[in-house]
Amino acid sequence: MDQSGIYTYEKYSFRIVTLLMVLVTFIFLVNSEFIGGAVSILLGVLLSISYQGIKIDPIKKQYVKYDRFLWFRIGRWKSYSKPSYLTIVRINLSSSRNLPAPMLLPDNKKDAKSFKMNLVVEGNERYINVCRGSKEVMTIEALRLGRHLGIRVLDFTTSEKKWIL
């Protein structure tokens, strides 16, 4: 959180386009096209330094999900309804993908789990997907955001659903 009371969560995001830029750079350099190689390697480096994040402003009741490349952020502020509570949910990962980046699954399919934190609101949108990651990180972030917004946190990751804040 920064000084203005805005909650911020951000994590590094690997982009597959980075590997494509390495391949394009290699092709340029093999053909002795050094200017094209330099431009493509510069773009590859810039695109490899990317982050995904969310900012939540409880005073204005707005949030922005963004992609950040160096200092440039791409995303728009959206309004949200009155928050009810936060929930941490377990997701089973499968081979059917819906994310843009490849994800390595463990050999043991029983361990192929991820967790996400949702902000449940009273409006039509029902919930806002805040972030995803390991259970420990999501628990820490949910408690931090719950204290910041003054709302409860529900751990929905096991069969014993329980309030943790």
Indicate whether 39 and 70 sit together in one domain: yes
Residue 144 in this model has a pLDDT that exceeds 70: yes
Q: For position 30, what pLDDT does the model report?
A: 92
Q: State the total domains in the chain.
A: 2
What is the rounded CA–CA span in Å between residue 55 and residue 7?
5
Domain of residue 100, residue span? 81-165
Of the three residues 79, 102, 135, the one that is the final residue of a domain is: 79
What is the rounded CA–CA span in Å between residue 18 and residue 126?
35
pTM of the model: 0.74
What is the rounded CA–CA span in Å between residue 47 and residue 6?
26
Least confident of 13-22, 91-100, 134-143: 91-100
The residues, any chain, with a CB within 8 Å of residue 84's CB and separated by 6 or more, are 120, 121, 122, 151
Question: Tens digit of pLDDT for each residue in 59-105?
Answer: 999 999 999 887 888 999 999 999 999 999 998 766 555 555 555 55
